[in-house]
Amino acid sequence: MPQPFDLTACEALELIRRKKLGVLELLDSCLSRVETLEPEINAWKFLAPEAARDRAKQLDNSDPDSPMHGIPLGVKDVIDTADMPSGYGSPIYERHRPAADAACVAVAKRNGAIILGKTVTTEFACGSTARTSNPLNINHTSGGSSAGSCAAVAAKMIPVSFGTQSASSTIRPASYCGLVGMRPSMGVISVAGFKYFNGSFDTIGLLARSVDDVELLWTSQMDVPFKPGALRAKAPKILVCYPPWMTGCEPSAREAIDKTAAAMAAAGAKIELLELPAEYADLPELHYEIQRFETARSYAHEYGTAADRLDWRVRQTVEEGMKIRGDRYIEMTKRAQKLRHEFPALMGDADAIMTNAAPGEAPQNWRLLGDDFKMGDPLQSRAWTLLHLPTVTVPSLIGPQGLPVGVQFLSPFGSDQALLGIARWAESVLKPSLVARSA
């Protein structure tokens, strides 16, 4: 029999509802896992085990009819929690305690989730580094900026967590850690209580070890029905995309696209190649320029009062953004809006686009490289974030260093639940071969 911490959220929920698993039993198993692995992984900024146990006891004495009844959940430390510190990864906010929970946290609590603690983030989720290890190989990074949220789920300390994404902060680290990660359509899940970074792009990210668990998070936030394990009756039509910004990616990034396309075609999917229009080629740069302009305004207070306490990369981004003119920003946002409007026509009658989720395997971390380590390039998701699209990454292959590489699926704005159905279908096709490669 698996240990409770081995269970996915949906598996645990089923056992809890059948009275074959206690909420406190599940929580204590997760806490035991945290105690064992956290010294090497460093996934958590703050833990609240006693408050979590009190909540678990309450839930054990109530009817298990809430959507996330008793499921332990991690919250990235740029998302506010009223009963825990919210430091935003910055020494400036080391003792900060918000007055209210972020909207996504409040909804998760209402739906029966147990907030176990706050997970490590890079400073303001804005391009610095975090010393969080990849549980699959502690000499490699878990990626950023949702470093702790991904590591905690990959290490089976918790079944699900909230991350965030303003560029690639959910999709890329999910790929590095062998997880399913989702960036929902822009604005569909409220970002109230997320430390403001980019109003044009800030999104709550959803992280788990299965598509079912990610859909559980999404549906519980949206108050829509959900049936775990439901597979499409018909194989999808998928457009395979090798974007121009793949230049410089590792061979494993292209191999993940190739392997996934071949596996889906063998399972009956209709596969066609998508060549992006020439006007898409500079979208990553367009995203980055808008991001810098907004960052300079978002962190005007921190820069004006405590610039010397900002990470140098955050300070540099602010200073670069201050040089961008307002009329240029308006021009860029108008172009982005035009492309968002035109995107559905690019897809035609296809169900989704499939492309790479990351530049390759997770980079080596400080243990091998010292302070000059990197947490991975966000380039591969910038364009899709700019377009406000829902995206879901699923593990595709095991690369030459023995670490996972994912692909991401994307579809038009508002098609989130249909996209999760595509991802679940792909997961069912890819999982057997991924397990075989892993062995």
- Catalytic positions: 76, 145, 169
**CB-based burial of residue 372 (10 Å sphere; 0-12 exposed, 13-18 middle, 19+ buried)?**
exposed
DSSP string, 284-310: HHHHHHHHHHHHHHHTHHHHHHHGGGS
Q: Which residues contact 265 (CB under 8 A, 6 or more apart)?
A: 271
**CB-based burial of residue 126 (10 Å sphere; 0-12 exposed, 13-18 middle, 19+ buried)?**
buried
Answer for the pair 227, 358: CB distance below 8 angstroms, yes or no.
no
Q: Residue 401 — left, alpha, or beta (φ > 0 → left; ψ -120 to 50 → alpha)?
A: alpha
**How many helices (H) and strands (E) would you count in the chain?**
15, 13
Distances (CA, A) of 164 to 239, 296, 394: 26, 19, 17
Q: Give the bridge partners for 303, in sequence order.
A: none
Rounded distance between C-alpha atoms, residue 228 and residue 77, angstroms: 29
Rounded distance between C-alpha atoms, residue 129 and residue 126, angstroms: 9
Per the omega criterion (within 30 degrees of 0), is the bond before 145 cis? Answer: yes
Enter the tokens of residue 410: 């994307």
Q: Helix, strand or coil for residue 364?
A: strand
Enter the tokens of residue 175: 């790929």
Which alpha helices (H) appear in 72-118, and where do they start and end? 103-110
Crossing angle of helices 416-438 and 211-222, in 10° steps, is: 160
Enter the tokens of residue 24: 């406190």
> Which amino acid appears at position 242 of this protein?
Y
Burial 171-199 (b: 16+ CB within 10 A, else e): bbbbbbbbbbbbbbbbebbebebbbbbbe
CA angle 361/264/140 to nearest 5° reads: 10
Q: Helix, strand or coil for residue 121?
A: coil
- Number of other residues whose CB lies within 10 A of the CB of residue 436: 9
